[in-house]
């Protein structure tokens, strides 16, 4: 599980969002053999959302075309739960804050995943990351 203290976070919101998107894409590429075709991350208050589009493997595409979409989604959900600690590590390193909640969702048409992270509350009023601004990372 997460540790209460996280350090070495990027300094600007843009750097944080880029670190999140790049980290999530790298993990998916490492474990699926390919990453999503598009990734956007959002960060506001205690919430981080990663939307990852594209990226079904050839095997998954074949299963989808053969009417086995439910098994593809079930397998992805099982994988994402096993990857939880690694996903959380990406978020914690980027934001400098512990993750206290994680939810994951997938859909077939269009092909996308959504990873939602809830961060431990902070009382840092002057922290630009806690100001409620959200942005999109390329």
Q: How far apart are the first and last CA of the chain?
A: 29
Taking Cα atoms as reference points, which of 122, 138, 136 lies closest to residue 45?
A: 122
How far apart (Å, rounded) are the C-alpha atoms in residues 49 and 132? 13
28-74 per-position pLDDT tens digit: 999 988 899 999 999 999 999 999 999 899 999 999 999 999 999 99
How far apart (Å, rounded) are the C-alpha atoms in residues 17 and 56? 23
1-15 per-position pLDDT tens digit: 555 555 555 679 999
How far apart (Å, rounded) are the C-alpha atoms in residues 57 and 85? 23
- DSSP annotation string for 10-30: -SSHHHHHHHHHHHHHHHHHH
Q: Which domains does the chain have, with CATH numbers?
A: 13-125 (3.30.980)
């Amino acid at each position: 599980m997460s540790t209460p203290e996280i350090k070495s976070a990027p300094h600007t919101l843009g750097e944080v969002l880029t670190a999140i998107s790049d980290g999530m894409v790298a993990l998916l590429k490492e474990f699926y053999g390919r990453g999503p075709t598009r990734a956007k991350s959002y960060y506001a208050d205690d919430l981080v959302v990663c939307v990852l589009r594209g990226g079904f493997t050839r095997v998954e595409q074949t299963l989808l075309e053969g009417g086995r979409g439910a098994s593809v989604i079930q397998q992805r959900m099982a994988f994402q739960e096993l990857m939880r600690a690694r996903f959380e590590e990406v978020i914690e390193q980027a934001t400098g804050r512990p993750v206290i909640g994680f939810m994951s969702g997938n859909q077939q048409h269009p092909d996308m995943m959504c990873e939602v992270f809830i961060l431990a509350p902070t009382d840092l009023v002057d922290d630009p990351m806690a100001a409620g601004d959200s942005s999109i990372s390329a």
